[in-house]
Amino acid sequence: MATYETDAIVLRAIRYSEADSVLTLYTRDRGRASAIAKGARRPRSRLGGRLQPGTCSRVTLAEGRGELATVRGVSSLQPNAGLWTESGRLRAAGHVLEAALRTLPDGDPNEPAYHLLGNALGLIAREPPSEGPPRLDPLVLGVHVKLLVVAGLLPVLGSCAHCGAGPPLPAFSAAAGGALCGECAGGADPLTLAAHAALAGLIGRPLGEAREVCPPHAAAGVERVVGLVLREHLGVILRSAAAPASPRGPSETFDSGH
């Protein structure tokens, strides 16, 4: 069986049989890939602890007959241990991993996406958790907006997507391709000035500045725009956006395996 080494971020770990985990990885060299980690759920496994969702590792993968590779070796690159010290951070990371799972296609290498995820998870693990709900953490929203950029789904925001007029642009329609002027707004969703400015900042500024460019009163509007774009182009509704009132954590997506 052919083996290869690559840097990988664990997006998801699903329990498989008594002792194994099936992982969804985002690899630097091959994009999204699935792999089985045999024995990873045994208490003394050397694999298990290094393959939690949200960690970055150098992995050796053996290609199988089907789509599922087998993990042969792993060395930790960025354990992001801070994710497990605070539940808000863990939930924020879960929202990042869910968006990556649902927007990045299988087997399509995208180095900017890999670096974006690694950077985001590192920041979430290091920084103090945000005050509000983790799904509205500017770091989470920043990753969601930047994933739209790397996935080629960025809407038009600088001028009216329908007629080209300049600001003010008080509405947004994913079907029309972006922000809309008052004349073209029709029944489109409202877009506040604050959300518009925050979107521009999250796109244009480094992720580390997300909290400066996306104040709390802009967050829900940014989340709404991201949700509209994902639904229009990918048919995806993120769990966080679909059920904002639910206290349920991202347990299914972000199975810690404990």
**Unique residue bearing structure tokens 């395996």:** 257
Is 169 a binding residue for Zn ion by CB under 5 A? The answer is no
Is 165 a binding residue for Zn ion by CB under 5 A? The answer is yes
Q: Which is nearer to Zn ion, 7 or 189 (CB)?
A: 189
CB of 159: closest distance to Zn ion in angstroms?
8
CB of 170: closest distance to Zn ion in angstroms?
11
Longest dimension (CA), the chain: 64
Name 173's bridge partners. 178
CB of 91: closest distance to Zn ion in angstroms?
38
Stretch that binds Zn ion, among 15-23, 109-117, 125-133, 163-171 (CB under 5 A): 163-171
Q: Which is nearer to Zn ion, 163 or 234 (CB)?
A: 163
CB of 157: closest distance to Zn ion in angstroms?
13
CB of 149: closest distance to Zn ion in angstroms?
23
- State which of residues 139, 181, 214, 238 lies at the interface with Zn ion (CB under 5 A): 181
Q: Which is nearer to Zn ion, 164 or 204 (CB)?
A: 164
Is 161 a binding residue for Zn ion by CB under 5 A? The answer is no
CB of 184: closest distance to Zn ion in angstroms?
3
Q: Which is nearer to Zn ion, 184 or 238 (CB)?
A: 184
Among residues 123, 94, 33, 52, which one has the least CA distance to residue 239?
A: 94
- State which of residues 25, 184, 199, 218 lies at the interface with Zn ion (CB under 5 A): 184
Phi then psi dihedrals of residue 52, to 5 deg? -75, 150
Helix (H, G, I), strand (E, B) or coil at 162: coil
CB of 164: closest distance to Zn ion in angstroms?
7
Contact 53, 97 (CB under 8 A): yes
SS (H, E, C) 10-35: EEEEEEECCCEEEEEEEECCCEEEEE
- In 52-203, the DSSP E strands lie at 56-62, 68-78, 171-173, 178-180, 189-190
Burial of 177 (0-12, 13-18, 19+ CB in 10 A): middle
Stretch that binds Zn ion, among 43-51, 81-89, 104-112, 177-185 (CB under 5 A): 177-185
Name 75's bridge partners. 58
Contact 239, 12 (CB under 8 A): no
What residues between 43 and 82 interact with Zn ion by CB under 5 A?
none
- Please count the residues of this chain forming the interface with Zn ion, following the rule CB under 5 A: 6
- State which of residues 28, 89, 135, 162 lies at the interface with Zn ion (CB under 5 A): 162
Q: CA-to-CA distance for 84 and 250, rounded, in angstroms?
A: 14
Is 160 a binding residue for Zn ion by CB under 5 A? The answer is yes
Is 163 a binding residue for Zn ion by CB under 5 A? The answer is yes
CA torsion, ordered 248, 129, 33, 72, to nearest 10 deg: -110
Q: Which residues bind Zn ion (CB under 5 A)?
A: 160, 162-163, 165, 181, 184
